[in-house]
């Protein structure tokens, strides 16, 4: 048995000689170079993938929190209208129903877009 501490190949954590896997990330003390590279790449991917997802939800929450009341109401109404249109779409069998379902979805999303828009007044689509 090795009598010295060893450093994890992946996360650089120092582990006691008694362990044969990293106490921080569980990676084996003796590993092939390919495995080390794969593990590092997987960790890098996870590190890159995690922050944007969390920051997106934070941004959305902040966005809603700082919106004026009328914009929030407009956004909720838009979401409800587009959601109802989506449900209607599932049950719509005739072409006119498809048309109105599409208008509800599009109109609702447009309302959300207007409500969540920038400070400048949104211009209607051409
Ligand atoms: Zn480790």
In this structure, the answer to whether residues 43 and 74 fall within a common structural domain is: no
Q: Ligand 1 centroid vs 27 CA: distance in angstroms?
A: 5
Look at 28-32, 51-55, 86-90, 101-105 and tell me which has the smallest mean pLDDT: 51-55
In this structure, the answer to whether residues 74 and 114 fall within a common structural domain is: yes
Residue 24: predicted pLDDT = 92
Q: How far apart are CA 15 and CA 86, in angstroms?
A: 55
Look at 5-9, 56-60, 100-104, 119-123 and tell me which has the smallest mean pLDDT: 119-123
What are the phi and psi torsion angles at 15 (to 5°)? -125, 150
Quote the domain boundaries for residue 105.
67-126
Q: Ligand 1 centroid vs 54 CA: distance in angstroms?
A: 24
Q: How confident is the model at residue 119 (pLDDT cuts 50, 70, 90)?
A: low
In this structure, the answer to whether residues 74 and 125 fall within a common structural domain is: yes
Look up the pTM and report it.
Answer: 0.34
Q: What protein residues have CB closer than 5 angstroms to ion ligand 1? A: 8, 10-11, 13, 22, 24-25, 27
Phi-psi region of 63 (alpha: psi -120 to 50; beta: other; left: phi over 0): alpha
Measured in Å, how far apart are the chain's first and last C-alpha atoms? 75
């Amino acid at each position: 048995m090795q009598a010295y501490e060893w450093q994890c190949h992946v996360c650089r954590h120092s582990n006691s000689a008694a362990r044969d896997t990293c106490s921080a990330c569980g990676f084996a003390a003796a590993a092939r170079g390919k495995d080390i590279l794969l593990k590092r790449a997987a960790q890098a991917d996870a590190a890159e993938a995690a922050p944007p997802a969390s920051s997106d939800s934070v941004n959305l929450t902040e966005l809603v929190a700082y919106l004026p009341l009328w914009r929030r109401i407009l956004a909720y109404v838009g979401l409800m209208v587009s959601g109802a249109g989506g449900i209607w779409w599932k049950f719509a069998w005739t072409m006119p129903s498809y048309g109105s379902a599409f208008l509800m979805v599009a109109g609702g999303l447009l309302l959300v877009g207007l409500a969540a828009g920038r400070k400048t007044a949104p211009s209607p689509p051409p």
